[in-house]
Structure 1
Amino acid sequence: MGCAMNEWNQLLSFAQQTSLGDVPPEVVARAKLILLDSMGAIIHGNQTEEVRQFATMHAASDGVPVLGLSILVPEVIAAMANAQGMVSQELDEGNVYAKGHPASHILPALLAVAYRQNSAGAPFLESFLLGYEISARLGHAIRLKPAIHPHGNWAMVGGSLAVGKLLGWTGEKLAQALAMSASLPMVSLWENAFHGHRIRDVYVGVVNAVNTLVPSLVSAGYTASLNGFQAIFDGILGEGLDWEKAVSRLGSEYFLMKNYFKELSYCRYCHSPIEAVAALIQQESIDWKTVRRIDVYTYRAAAQLNRQTVENAFAAKFSIPAAMADWLCQRYPELDAEALAKKIFVHEDAAIEAKLPAERNSRVVVTLSDGTVLSHYQVGAKGDPQHPFQEDDVKQKLLDLAGPVIGRDRCFRLIDVCLNIERHDVDYLIRLCIGP
């Protein structure tokens, strides 16, 4: 469909005219849970050696904290480092309808700018929520080319909107902030994830860095066209952009409510097949050493994750055979992960594909050496809208991820601050997350 400025104007008007008080309480509550979950993912992920080294190289006597570390860096580096840490362990939230990870493209830059602006919690939360909503809607409207990973492209528009909203921008100035970021997406390839290259994390880092710079670029007089977004996602990085999907039921239906939280440290496409295996374990007594083969049937995008041999542990997060074998070996240490992965075969299933986007399902068929065949059909995965995390699940995940870094006492304070962010400021939120 052609690019219609009418749709962009609808999205901009919604973002400018909507305040936190206009948003249904359950949506505000979910935004707070996403904030809490994301803080845990950042603190935990920033212990990754690459993030530590990157932050240390840019350490300064004054600046913005890198969460989970005791390092101050310039604002742009803080946004970049915290973003790279947030996605580094595949534990950040995502969105079923957006087909990607809105929060990781918004929160790190927004935190850095809000810290420098001494922002109160309420406008910070409002900006995050509205930036997320716009990002999720654009992600839903776009169909990326199969080779393009959703990191570092469409969701960055919500990041610039959130930053602009926090700064009080309206009208043409806010429109230019969106146009600027919409013109600067990354050409992010699945190929790098499949082969275990952490440039895949840097895609998200770069767009957060860009969104800390967008205010000064716009203020300096640089301009861009919103029409560029259409050209990029309806021909270069994408195969189609349906603007009606971006604005349908805007203000009455919140795509933020279609987010998911992650329990397993693998690409989301691996979760449903692994949970199918977990269900079989509950139902049957299986000697996994006697497995002849495991066939996984899933939707097209997930079926790309079919490599049976991977280069490293990071690549294993983007392979259904390697991730499933790793998960099984954690429970049955006597198994050989590499040998088991070579027995796992992934297939595209048209009937499962047809269930998208509401359900991301899988069917797993286990064939044993004696000819026994066991099968389970799994609807989605834990954390999906069909199997939602409860508030206590998100709290426990925060304790598990951040507790070893900042201690349980500070974790409990962080939980209280995130769930009552309107009564606090961003400076206090961030200082709770500084590492030892």
Structure 2
Amino acid sequence: MTVAGALARACATVSALDLDQVPPESIEKALRIIADCIAVSVAGYRTEPMAALVEADTKSGLVSGRAERNRSHRSTVWGGGQAPAHHAAFLNATAGSFLELDEGMRPTGHPGMQVVPAAIAVAQDVHASGADLLRAVILGYELCARLFRAIRLQPLAHPHGHAGALGAALAVSVLRGTDAEAATAIASTLPLASTWQACYDGATARNAYMGHAAAVGVRASDLAGAGFTGSFASFGVSLGELLGDGLDEAPLVDRVRYEALAIDAGYFKVHSACALTHTAIDAALDIVESGPLAPDSITRVWVETVAAVRKVDIRAAPNDLSCRFSVSYAVATALCTGTSGPAAFVYRSDIAAVAQRVEVRVDPQLEQRWPASSPARVRVEVGDQVLESLVENPIGHPPRALSREEHFAKFAGAISDPDRARDAWARIMDLRRLPDVDSLLAW
């Protein structure tokens, strides 16, 4: 079968997903992904660049306040205001990328933040039911996950901005009741050449990779409705040859397995950093459970882990985004602050000096456990002592899943208003019974 044929078959197979056959635990996972994406995005809007972007877009008329009742602005900007569906999706997904707290799946991919903002924006626009939104998110996530498993990206190609757009296009088209295959083929023709280098440099424009995918998902449906055509084969060229090294068709053409949906394998982040750093952060936090270490007391640090972590074995540039993509800085800040939230990744020269003493090695025995596990061992030399911790998987991954209470704590912290957080969480958890998604965000 050709790549084009496999992608067309994947669209047809996944878009036929029956919500009534989805197990209750998978429904809850999907609801939590929706909640997580909203909360993480709301927190992202509190960053200076996102606040400034919304202000500029409001002045230019791209965003309007609810009181203005702009008839073409029917989708909520989670940082405040209303916008057309494609622009709300762009802003919400971009904000959701800022703090590196968005959910994901292994091997590396982040379907949620590329699908959920697009699906919610369109569900509001067409007054879809909560059940319809839930189904769209699950099937959009399923297609994204199949694509992430199918492509083998080149080492410097980043997973945001391309496969996510196809999942978003499928979700949007299902919600609108329009030609899903045509829209997804158009999204296949509009990939983004996203790179890890932008992360290493701390170029915050890379946060718009997510926004690009969400917006393309919506616009691909618009283009299909206007008579534009797309090329599934183009995806095979761009992701299989230009940005990747081949494409495995098997995950694309598999039947929908309700007992093992892709959404079940997703993880939630509790550390404000690239997911590849999380096991090492957990190990470092274990070591300093009784209290952080003084930076000048740390002589040497060794991190033994899997080869995938080499992607983030860099010296951080002096900015918070680059720090989030440096395993040495992530471990150093965990050891010296005992924390891993957004504030821990504000660049500090004394922590950067500790990061210079961190040596990262691939352990062949640990490597054998990837990707089922993502183990890391951290050893810290302090005076005449060597402190050590080995962690198999990070908190928030399926083997160490967050309880509902733990996840709500993350959600409430991101929303930052306890009463609004409780109201929002309750609305999202009751999504399947909601008659109109437009009331989902009325908290």
Question: Is TM more than 0.5 here?
Answer: yes
Look up the match of 1:158: 167
Look up the match of 2:357: 343
Structure 2: which amino acid aligns with 1:355? R
For 1:193 and 1:132, the matched residues in 2 are separated by 24
Q: Which moved more, 1:301-310 or 1:65-74?
A: 65-74
Q: Which moved more, 1:234-243 or 1:182-191?
A: 234-243
For 1:12 and 1:343, the matched residues in 2 are separated by 49
For 1:277 and 1:328, the matched residues in 2 are separated by 6
Deviation at 1:322, TM superposition (A): 1.4
Structure 1: which amino acid aligns with 2:371? P
1:219 aligns with 2:225: yes
1:380 aligns with 2:380: no
Look up the match of 1:81: 91
Q: Is the 8 A contact 1:14 1:251 kept in 2?
A: no
Relative to structure 1, is the Cα distance of residues 284 and 29 closer, same or farther in structure 2, using a 3 angstrom cutoff? Answer: closer
1:324 aligns with 2:331: yes
**SS state at 2:97 partner:** helix
1:133 aligns with 2:142: yes
**SS state at 2:96 partner:** helix
For 2:224 and 2:293, the matched residues in 1 are separated by 61
Structure 2, unmatched stretches of 5+, are 59-63
Q: Deviations over 1:324-377 (max 9, x none)?
A: 22223323999931221111122233333332221111122223343x433322
Relative to structure 1, is the Cα distance of residues 44 and 103 closer, same or farther in structure 2, using a 3 angstrom cutoff? Answer: same
- Choose from 405, 411, 426 the match for 2:421: 411
Q: Deviations over 1:296-315 (max 9, x none)?
A: 12222311212234221121
In the comparison of the two structures, how many residue pairs are matched?
A: 423
For 1:64 and 1:53, the matched residues in 2 are separated by 22
Q: Is the 8 A contact 1:44 1:68 kept in 2?
A: no
For 1:280 and 1:326, the matched residues in 2 are separated by 13
Relative to structure 1, is the Cα distance of residues 133 and 314 closer, same or farther in structure 2, using a 3 angstrom cutoff? Answer: same
Look up the match of 1:395: 408
For 2:241 and 2:174, the matched residues in 1 are separated by 30
Relative to structure 1, is the Cα distance of residues 157 and 429 closer, same or farther in structure 2, using a 3 angstrom cutoff? Answer: same
Relative to structure 1, is the Cα distance of residues 375 and 243 closer, same or farther in structure 2, using a 3 angstrom cutoff? Answer: same
Q: Which moved more, 1:141-150 or 1:291-300?
A: 291-300
Q: Is the 8 A contact 1:55 1:73 kept in 2?
A: no
TM-score (normalised: structure 2): 0.89
For 2:284 and 2:53, the matched residues in 1 are separated by 38
For 1:245 and 1:52, the matched residues in 2 are separated by 40
Look up the match of 1:185: 191
Structure 2: which amino acid aligns with 1:12? C
Higher relative contact order (CA 8 A, sep 6+): 1
Q: Is the 8 A contact 2:295 2:336 kept in 1?
A: no
**SS state at 1:260 partner:** coil
For 1:328 and 1:115, the matched residues in 2 are separated by 44
Structure 2: which amino acid aligns with 1:399? A
Q: Is the 8 A contact 1:66 1:81 kept in 2?
A: no
For 2:213 and 2:254, the matched residues in 1 are separated by 27
**SS state at 2:387 partner:** strand
Look up the match of 1:234: 240
Q: Which moved more, 1:48-57 or 1:156-165?
A: 48-57
Relative to structure 1, is the Cα distance of residues 285 and 52 closer, same or farther in structure 2, using a 3 angstrom cutoff? Answer: closer
Look up the match of 1:92: 102
Q: Which moved more, 1:140-149 or 1:422-431?
A: 422-431
User: Which runs of structure 2 are paired with 1:351-390 in the superposition (5 Å)?
Assistant: 351-370=365-384, 372-390=385-403
Q: Is the 8 A contact 1:359 1:380 kept in 2?
A: yes
For 1:213 and 1:75, the matched residues in 2 are separated by 9
For 1:323 and 1:218, the matched residues in 2 are separated by 44
Q: Is the 8 A contact 1:55 1:77 kept in 2?
A: no
Q: Deviations over 1:256-299 (max 9, x none)?
A: 10100011111111110011112233499977643221111222
**SS state at 1:52 partner:** helix
Look up the match of 1:47: 46
Q: Is the 8 A contact 1:297 1:347 kept in 2?
A: yes
Structure 1: which amino acid aligns with 2:245? E
Q: Which moved more, 1:244-253 or 1:340-349?
A: 244-253
